[in-house]
Structure 1
């Protein structure tokens, strides 16, 4: 995929799995979180029993607020997880069930994106020979990368978005994801009732590969970090009277503080036309990642690439008439999207 081919770092291969891998169950997200947490200071062999503890814990926690974790109607393993939440299944029974039933498909499918395996493997399946998986050098190197601390936030955000799409039934009721600036959250409306989904920053960061949309400087999702990302309206809020759905996900980007509100920052100026082309590419990543951002972008900007591009250009031109001033950032890193 162009996503990681344009910037073939380990974190972007990992993001390819989280953002673009096929979602028929949430097990991929639980496995990612388990791998973040499992003790990696000893052997590179992680037994299924070791992996089962964080894997099952994350699934059980998500089941408490999102009972639908798969696209099929029933799962014996998830029934066990639900039984654990209700106090009907013991911890040892949960771990035993996870070892026997929890990893059946996810270990085989984890590295597959768009019907093909990615070039970088993060673990080798050794269930038949050693009853576990063996972490590769790629995973250890991933842990040393600057962006590693952001990945857990991104994984949770993606999991929350997929859960909400399943809960609403995207085939019957397309999910429209919207932005609440007051609490920096993405939300959806269910029968006129608002449902908060997840952090806007955590959801968008992976698609921007952990970098400021404008200058490519690395940004952070960690609260209190000096490089904590801002959510910014690409077409400024000042143009809201002439731009349709300016609060839509199509118009939201993450920016460093310098670009968003620094001395030479964007403020109410309109980003240049090349940056509009970059926004179009980023929105197409949303399309590729499927539900629910695919459905949201289609609803907000159009069903076909040419229509979506025309939508952006028309709104950019309308904003230009109102705002007049064009703004360009100073590059702080290499172009990665």
Structure 2
């Protein structure tokens, strides 16, 4: 798909799996999270017994705050995880059940996006010959990439968003994701009660391919990092009286500190018109990613691409009439969306 074909790096192929893969269960997120913990200095063969320990750990932890981790009515494996959380079985019994039941579908499905397999494989299925998976050179190379440190944050944020949509019953109750600027969180409302979902920064980063929205300089999600991303309003907050729902996800981007608040940064100016197309492309990635960001963007900006483009154009013009001055970033990297 266009997301990784336009910028075919290993990290973007991996993001294609995490952000755009079909989700009928959260096992793909658990498997990705487990793979982040793999000892990259050891054997490239990871047995199911080895993989089962972190895989089951992440699922058990998520089950504590989000009981719905699958779209089907029941799962023998998840029931086993719940029994472990309740103290009804031992850790050894949990691992045995994970090896027997936990990987039945996820290993086969991991590399499939939009009903087709991606061009880069990160592991090979060797369950029949060696009772495990064999990591490929792509996986080891991925671990050496600058963006690798961001992927665990992105995976957990995507997992949190999907399970919240499932818990609310997405087909019956469309999820409206909102932004809390003070706490830098995405949240939703359930029967007028606020429910925090996940970090806004971690949720947006993958869709921007780990780069500043404006200059394409690499950014970080690691707390305390010198390149830690800022969450920025594309149309500045100072135009909030002219622009409806200015705090909507459609208007939130990640920026490096220089672009957001540097001497030559955007500040209260409005980005030049050509960047509006980039915002539209990023928002369309949200829609391709399906629930719940799909539903949120459609609710906020329109049902069809033409309506969403018109929405952005109207609000950009309204902000320009108010703020007058436009701003152009200095390119620090090649634009890939």
TM-score tier after normalising by the smaller chain length: over 0.9
Q: Does 1:92 align with 2:92?
A: yes
Alpha-carbon contact 1:3-1:12 (below 8 Å) kept: yes
SS at match of 1:194: strand
Alignment partner, residue 146 of structure 1: 146
After superposition, residues 164-313 of structure 1 pair within 5 angstroms as 164-313=164-313
Cα distance in 2 for residues equivalent to 1:67 and 1:159: 13
C-alpha distance in 1 between matches for 2:296 and 2:288: 12
What is the CA-CA distance between 1:336 and the residue it aligns to? 1.5
Secondary structure of the residue aligned to 1:253 is strand
Q: TM-score, normalised by structure 1?
A: 1.00
Whole-Å separation in 1 of the counterparts to 2:62 and 2:211: 29
* Secondary structure in structure 2 of the residue aligned to 1:170: coil
Name the SS for the 1:80 alignment partner.
Answer: helix
Quick one: distance in 2 between partners of 1:318 and 1:74? 50
Task: Using the TM superposition, give the Cα deviation of residue 40 of structure 1 relative to its aligned residue in structure 2, in angstroms.
Answer: 2.5
Aligned position for 2:25: 25
CA–CA separation in structure 1 for the residues paired with 2:224 and 2:297 = 31
SS at structure 1 position matched to 2:204: helix
- TM-superposition CA deviations, 1:185-206 (whole Å, max 9, x none): 0000000000000000000000
Q: Give the match's secondary structure for 1:187.
A: strand
Q: What is the distance in 1 between the residues matched to 2:172 and 2:246?
A: 26
1:315 aligned partner: 315
Separation (CA, whole Å) in 2 of partners of 1:300 and 1:169: 19
Q: Mind listing any 5+ residue stretches in structure 2 that lack a counterpart?
A: none
Q: Distance in 2 between matches of 1:34 and 1:225?
A: 24
Per-residue Cα deviation, 1:84-103 (whole angstroms, up to 9, x for no partner): 00000110100000000000
Aligned residues: 337
- For the Cα contact (< 8 Å) 1:126–1:132, is it kept in 2? yes
TM-score when scaled to structure 2?
1.00
* Cα distance in 1 for residues equivalent to 2:241 and 2:289: 31
Contact kept, 8 Å, 1:38 with 1:54, in 2: the verdict is no
Q: How does 1:67-146 map to 2 (within 5 A)?
A: 67-146=67-146
Shift of 1:258: 0.1
Kept in 2, the 8 Å contact 1:248–1:300? The answer is: yes
Matches of 1:190 and 1:250 in 2, distance apart?
Answer: 21
Instruction: Tell me how far apart the structure 1 counterparts of residues 96 and 41 of structure 2 sit (CA, whole Å).
Output: 24
- For the aligned residues, what is the CA RMSD? 0.4
Q: Provide the rounded CA distance (Å) in 2 between the counterparts of 1:273 and 1:5.
A: 25
